[in-house]
Each structure stands twice: as structure tokens, then as C-alpha cells.
Structure 1
Amino acid sequence: MQTSASLSRSTTFLADLPARSLLGQRWVYHSLFWTVLSLYNTLYFGFMLNNYTQAVFEFSVKFPFYLVLVYGNIYYLIPNFLLPGKYIQYFAYLILATLFSVAVIQTLINHLIYINYCPVGYHPNVLFDPKPTAKRMFDTFSVFGVTSGIKLTKDWIDNQQRIKELEGQSVRNELEFLKSQIQPHFFFNTLNNLYSLTIKKSDLAPEVVVKLSGLMSYMLYESDSQETTLKKEIEHIQNYLDLESLRFGKRLHLDFKIEGAIEQKKLPPLLLLPFIENAFKHGTSHETGALDLKISLKVLNEHLLFEVINPKFDNQQSRKKHKGLGLKNVKRRLDLLYSDKYELTIQPSDKEYFISLFIPLN
């Protein structure tokens, strides 16, 4: 047995239910439609006939037939004939059903209402008098048309919603796939760097492990979301640059500039790093092993301008078969994320590569 407190909570819960939860029920919409249709018949035809009682009697006879015709059309004729493109069969069955229904309705109205149940003064019409027959056929087809239009419109809206959901899911899946390709690519490069340090028994190896641990934490746990803060992304880039600085030492000449207010700005994670990876991979001279790298990150109102400049050498033929994985992935991600709302410029010259990315920030 419920206590008064539990009853009070139940009452409060029911009172707090949003109205849309009730309106979302199919039976509510159907009941509302038939209520409106019955009121229309009663008020409009009662006014036209100057007799509301007769209008109520007639609609009470027509109502069961309308139910059978409407739901038969919605749940049988439309899915089995109209939607598959069997238009001739659909309209043939529709006309036959209408003619049969109107004939039965005429008979019932004449013999049940006009003769037995209507007040004195009502006179039965001829069974197939053209005027009332045409009127009732028009009424029946009107109900068919309205309900069919509602059904087809609802199905079209639902179908468009499903298409959007599938497209959105497909985009999300592709973005996750592209991001998952970037992460192993990055770890492969970094582990190679760590391997070279351990071979040399460098004292820098432990520091590399610590930096790599921080990067792995970011990639595995913080980059799963659709967005990250620009500040965190910059910290991630800085950790990567620190790792490369440990590997290159004095051979790396790095100019990393940050301008503008980076607080409260957001962007997709792991979007900028592939450009920097590409610069390290293709901007190193085989002869000297040195790299002159310029990175500029500017926040301009609600946009980010990101630029990378690295040298270009002629002795990079052996790297061509490996190039482009991270860059191709990030281009595809940009297309999916921003459509035509971003600008990516890649300008190779005889001596350097220049990459510029302009994207909106959230």
C-alpha cells in the first residue's frame, strides 16, 4: 500500500510530465483528427442543411466506413500498391472501395435514418440520387486525400530524418576512423625517435618517455570528444615539439609563435599536429640533419590562422612512398568538419613548403 508521501511523489511526477510526451503518442493524433472531422461534419453540414441533428445522424453512419477506408488505405493500399509504383491497381482499388462504401452508406442513411430514426418531416431520397451520391463520393475522396497526404508527408519527414541520422553517423564513423589512423602514425614516429635515443644510450630517453606518456594520455583519453580546448591542443603540440627538440638538439631551429586570446576557444582534437609532423618528416636535410621550422598560431576573433614553414630539399625521393598519410587524413577531416568554411593553402616552392590553415573556432 502506498503511503501519502509516495502518493504525493507519484502525483508530482505525473504533473511534471511534459505535454510533448502525451502529444507524441500516435493515438492522440488519430483521436484529434477524428474529433476535428466529426466537429467539421456536424457544424459545417449542419449549417448547410440547416439541421444539425441530421448532420450528426449522417456522420454516425459514415464514421465506421471512414475508419475502415482510411486505415485500409494507410496500412494496406499505400504500402502495397502506391509506394511500390502500382498506381493503376492502387487507384482502381481506391475507386472500387469508395463506390462500394458510398452505396452502402446511401442505403443505410435512406433506410435507417430517413425512414426509421429521423424526426417527422424527413423524406428518404432515391437510393442513387445523383446529387447526394456525388456529394458523398466527394466527401469520401476528401477524407482519403487528407489522410493520404498526412501519411505520405509524415513518412517523407521520417525518411529525411533517418537519412540525416545515417549521414551524421557515417560522418562520425569516418572522422573516428581518420583520427584513429593519425594516432598510430604519430606513435610510430615518436617510438622511432625513442628507439634512436636508447640505441645511443642517451640520458634524454627517460624524459622522452615522460613526454610520450603525456601525449598518449591526451590521445587516448582526452581526444575522444568531438572538441577540445585550443589551450590543450597547444600544450599537446608543445609536448610534441619538446620531444623533437630532445631528438634534434641544436640541429633544430624552431620559431613557434602564439598570438591572440586562446582561452575559451575550441576546435577538434589532433587537427593541427599532422602538419607539424609532416614538416619534421620532410623538412630535414640528409646531409646536415638540421631543420629550420617556423610555426605560427594566431587567434583572429572567432577564427584560427595556423601556418607552418619548413625547408624543402632535393634529396627526399626515398620518403615519397611514405608521405601524405597524416596530411591526407587531416584534409578529409577538414572537409567533413567544416565543409567549405575553411581555407587550406599548400604552396611548395624550390626551397620551402608553406602551409596555411584558416578555420572557425567554437
Structure 2
Amino acid sequence: MSKDYDITYVHHITFWSIYFIFNTLRWSHVHSDLLYSLKTNLIGFPIHIALSYFNVYYLMPKYVYHKKYVSYALLVLGSLLIMLLVKFNLTYYFVSTNVMPEATEVVNTLTLNYAITTMLGELYVVSFVTAIKITADWLRETNKLHDLEKRQLTTELKFLRSQVSPHFFFNTLNNIYSLTLEKSDKAPEVVLKLSELMRYLLYASNKPKQDLKKEIDCIQNYIDLERIRFNDSLVVNMNLSGNLENKKISPMLLITFIENCFKHGASQSIGKMYIDVNIRIEGDVLLFKVSNTIPEKRKKKKPSSKNGGIGLSNVKKRLELAYAKNDYDLQIYERDNVFHVELKIKV
């Protein structure tokens, strides 16, 4: 079958051809008469096909799927009785008056034993074909469901990637405006960094994984832009070690933690603020740790039972969607008036 599990005309023809050949050879061995087996199967198979398709494409959709089980059972029984009469007469007049040569005695009338045996055999074929159809339908619906889930997850991931705070851009634009008024030499550099950052944020979502080096460059640009806003009131230490070559990561994942430091740390502080960023690559594992001092007004508040705000909730959700459970470990905690985030992730 195709990847969509559609049953085509080729599948129908192939199935019935193989079944016909198998049945003819099987009964020719039972009767020791290939010609007789061929004749009876030429009569029987059109009946098999008609009954099977009548059940699969008419009776089941109209009655079983609408829970009309009694009507369905009566119609199946009626169809089997009609099939019995047709098969008996066709065999009697066109093949042999002994319609059941496998019996111990000659059967040339419509006996109860012949009726039960023939109807059970027909019911077996119909059930077999129905089972194939139900299985194909189930596989097709399951495949559609998985495709829908993938689309939903992709859409959700793209949405979560776009959640960098707009306040950052407003603040940066205000800083650029101030620099231009002062005719500062820093203005072109700030515009360039903002442009690079926005380009990354705009196009990073097009790929499920991005180069780790580009993600770190994005973090560096973000920090440089924020340094201009906070001037000497902010100290940022960033340490990087290990080989970045051929390492991939879900885009805009790490920058959320950095943004959280500025949003809930530096922007709420009156005194000196410290942010430490440590990035280390060991083999195919990234060890990422970021820490920021907690503002005085937050120290006085009762510790929250939840770690972080919307940004951290989003990044947790993104990790669940983009990575297997064993491919990452995220720890978020407060200790000695410092907020810590530690992420261990496969890259």
C-alpha cells in the first residue's frame, strides 16, 4: 500500500487473483480434480467478491457505523441466504449435480449440512476481506492523526520560538534614538547588532535545528545591546569552551534564559547586577549555565512555587516538543540570592 494506506484497483485485482489461484489449487488437491475446482471457483469467486464489497462498502457504513446492529445482522443473513440459492443452482446446472463432492454421500438437494457449510465458508471470506479493509482504514486514520499532530507541534514550536519580549526591541530602539541624538559613534554598531539579531530571530524558525555557533552569536549580540542600556550598573561574564563545529540546537532556545536574566533580574534592580553565562561543549553534549543576582525587592517576596515566568514555561514546553526526554536535563533553582538555570542537552 501507499504511505497513505489507500487501497487501489491494483490491490483489489492482486488480492483476488492470488486468492483465486490459491483456492483453486487447494480444492483441486482435495477433490483430485483441477477442472472441477476451477469451475466451482469461477462460480464462487464472483459471489465472494459481490458479498464482500456489498458488506464493506454498503452494509457496514450504513448500519454498523450508525450502530444499527440488528438491521445489519438481518441483512447479512439475508445476503448469505440469497448467495446460497444462487451458488447451489449455478453449481447444480453448470458444474455437477453433486454439489458437495467432499461429503460422504451424494448431495443433489439443498440440505441443511450443505447450507451451513456453504454459508460459513462465505462468511469466512467476507470476514477476511472486512478485516483487511478495517485494518487499512485504521492505519490511514492513524497516519492522518500523526500528520495532524506533527503540524500542530510544528505550529506550536514556531509560535513559542517567536516569544522574545517586544520590550527588548522597544528599549533597544530607544537606545539607538538616544545615541543618534548624541551623535554617538556607537549608533551604527548598535543598529548592525540589532539587524543581525532580528535577522536570526526572523529566519531561525524556518529550521527545526540551527547551528549552535549562530545561537551563541545571537546571545552575544543580545548581551551587547543590553549592556548599552544598563551601562556600568550591569556586569556580564560570558565563558565559552569546547568545539562548536557541527553542533545543532533548537533555535532561540538558549536566548530565552538570557532574556529572563535581564527581564527579571537587571531590569528590576537598583544596585549593581551580575549575570554569569557559562557554555561548555563536551562531546555531543552542551552544558549551559546562567546565573543572575536576585533584585532586592524580589528577595523580600516569598519564593514562588513556580520556576520563572512565561518565558521559562515556554522553553520547557519547547524542550518537551523538540527533544526526547533522555536528551536533555533542565534544572532551575535559587540559592544564596542567586537565580540559576542549568541545562544539559544533546547537540
2:133 to 137, 151, 173: 151
| Contact 2:25 2:34 (C-alpha < 8 Å) held by counterparts | yes
One-letter amino acid matched to 1:139: G
**Distance in 2 between the 1:191 and 1:34 partners?**
72
1:29, CA displacement in angstroms? 1.1
Select the residue among 320, 325, 329 that pairs with 2:310: 325
Residue among 87, 91, 95 paired with 1:109: 91
Q: Judge conservation of contact 2:269–2:296 (CA < 8 Å) in 1.
A: no
Structure 2 length as normaliser, TM-score? 0.86
Task: For residue 325 of structure 2, give the secondary structure of its aligned residue in structure 1.
Answer: coil
> Deviation string for 1:175-212 (max 9, x for gaps)?
11112232646434533543554566644233211110
How many pairs were matched up? Answer: 331
d(CA) in 2 for partners of 1:150, 1:26: 13
Number of the residue aligned with 1:335: 320
Q: Distance in 2 between matches of 1:263 and 1:182?
A: 26
In the alignment, structure 2 segments of 5+ residues that lack a partner are 98-104
Provide the rounded CA distance (Å) in 1 between the counterparts of 2:256 and 2:177.
21
2:331 pairs with 1:345: yes
Q: Amino acid of the residue matched to residue 109 of structure 1?
A: T
Deviates more, 1:269-278 or 1:193-202: 193-202
Percent same amino acid among aligned pairs? 36
Give 1:338 shift.
2.1
Would the aligned equivalents of 2:333 and 2:339 in 1 still touch at CA under 8 Å? yes
1:246 aligns with 2:232: no
- Output the amino acid matched with 1:263: E
TM-score by length of 1: 0.83
Tell me, in whole angstroms, the C-alpha distance in 1 between the residues paired with 2:289 and 2:132.
Answer: 54
* Aligned match of 1:356: 342
Q: Secondary structure at the match of 1:75?
A: helix
**Residue in 2 aligned with 1:255?**
237
How does 1:6-21 map onto structure 2 within 5 Å? none
Counterpart Cα distance in 2 of 1:173 and 1:150: 35
The letter for the 2-side match of 1:176 is K
CA distance in structure 2 between the partners assigned to 1:190 and 1:98 by the alignment: 80
Map 1:1-362; keep pairs closer than 5 Å.
26-114=8-96, 125-182=107-164, 184=166, 186-195=168-177, 197=179, 202-284=184-266, 286-288=269-271, 290-316=272-298, 324-338=309-323, 340-341=325-326, 342-361=328-347
Q: Which position in structure 1 is the counterpart of 2:100?
A: none
CA distance in 2, matches of 1:211, 1:73: 68
Distance in 1 (CA, whole Å) between partners of 2:238 and 2:206 is 27
Corresponding letter in the other structure for 2:237: D
Cα distance in 2, alignment partners of residues 199 and 353 from structure 1: 37
Question: Secondary structure, in 3 states, of the residue corresponding to 2:288?
Answer: strand
Distance in 2 (alpha carbons) for counterparts of 1:196 and 1:291: 23
Residue 187 to residue 92, structure 1, CA distance change in 2 (3 Å): farther
Q: C-alpha root-mean-square deviation of aligned residues, in Å?
A: 2.7
Q: How far does residue 93 in structure 1 lie from its aligned partner after superposition?
A: 1.5
Letter in structure 2 aligned against 1:287: I
Residues 184 and 246 of structure 1: CA distance in aligned 2, closer, same or farther (over 3 Å)? closer
Q: CA 1:167–1:79 in structure 2 vs 1: closer, same or farther (change >3 Å)?
A: same
Q: Which moved more, 1:51-60 or 1:191-200?
A: 191-200
Residues in 2 aligned to 1:149 and 1:273: alpha-carbon distance in whole angstroms:
52
Larger RCO, structures 1/2 (Cα 8 Å, 6+ apart): 2
Shift in Å, 1:155: 0.8
Question: How far apart, in 2, do the equivalents of 1:326 and 1:111 lie?
Answer: 82
Gaps of 5+ in 1: 1-18, 116-122
Q: CA deviation at 1:100?
A: 1.3
The 3-state SS of whatever aligns with 2:164 is: helix
Distance in 1, matches of 2:64 and 2:111, equals: 32
Q: Partners in 2 of 1:308 and 1:162 — Cα distance?
A: 41
Contact 1:311 1:353 (8 Å CA) reproduced:
yes
